[in-house]
């Protein structure tokens, strides 16, 4: 996928982070953390539907909905884990409304390109890469189903 093919919401998020100084990037990540929506009741009442993202240091659970070919990612993480909430929120917003094919074409290294490796550390960024990877896997499974 060429640079220009990155879905617009993900590109905007990346550009917003890159435009900031390192310390302000943490503040923006915190804003994302605060914006992570609550789980819809249908999933909140059914923890069995949620997949735990084992690679994250804090308990974070995701569920991917594919309806009429359009993907909606749902995620939940405790308030004591704002970094993980921020990662999840970036993907929830960045992937919103994309088709299954578009989600699968998002570059796997997107989390490494948004200017957080220094502010947050590469080790921690792995959690976001895992979130993206598991989201894509669910999309593949559900598209096939």
Give the binding site for other proteins (CB under 8 A). Answer: 26-27, 29-30, 33, 52, 54-59, 79-84, 86, 118-121, 123-124, 126-127, 130
Shortest spacing between CB 101 and other proteins, in angstroms? 29
Pick the closer one to other proteins by CB: 42 or 118. Answer: 118
Pick the closer one to other proteins by CB: 37 or 78. Answer: 78
127-130 — which CB contacts under 8 Å span 24+ positions?
Answer: 127/53, 127/55, 127/56, 127/57, 127/60, 127/83, 127/84, 127/87, 128/87, 128/90, 128/91, 129/55, 130/53, 130/54, 130/55, 130/56
Shortest spacing between CB 74 and other proteins, in angstroms? 20
Pick the closer one to other proteins by CB: 29 or 71. Answer: 29
Shortest spacing between CB 136 and other proteins, in angstroms? 18
Helix axis angle, 82-95 to 8-18, nearest 10°: 140
Pick the closer one to other proteins by CB: 29 or 100. Answer: 29
Query: What would the two tokens of residue 21 be?
Result: 């100084």
């Amino acid at each position: 996928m060429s640079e220009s093919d990155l879905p617009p919401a993900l590109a905007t998020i990346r550009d917003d982070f890159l435009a900031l100084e390192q310390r302000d990037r943490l503040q923006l990540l915190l804003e994302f953390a605060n914006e992570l929506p609550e789980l819809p009741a249908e999933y909140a009442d059914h923890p069995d539907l949620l997949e735990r993202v084992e690679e994250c240091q804090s308990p974070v659970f995701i569920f991917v909905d594919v309806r009429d070919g359009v993907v909606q990612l749902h995620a939940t993480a405790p308030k004591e884990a704002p970094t993980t909430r921020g990662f999840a929120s970036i993907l929830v917003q960045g992937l919103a409304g994309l088709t299954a094919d578009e989600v699968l074409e998002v570059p796997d290294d997107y989390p490494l390109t948004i200017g957080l490796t220094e502010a947050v550390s590469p080790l921690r960024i792995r959690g976001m890469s895992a979130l993206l990877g598991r989201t894509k896997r669910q999309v593949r499974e559900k598209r096939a189903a």
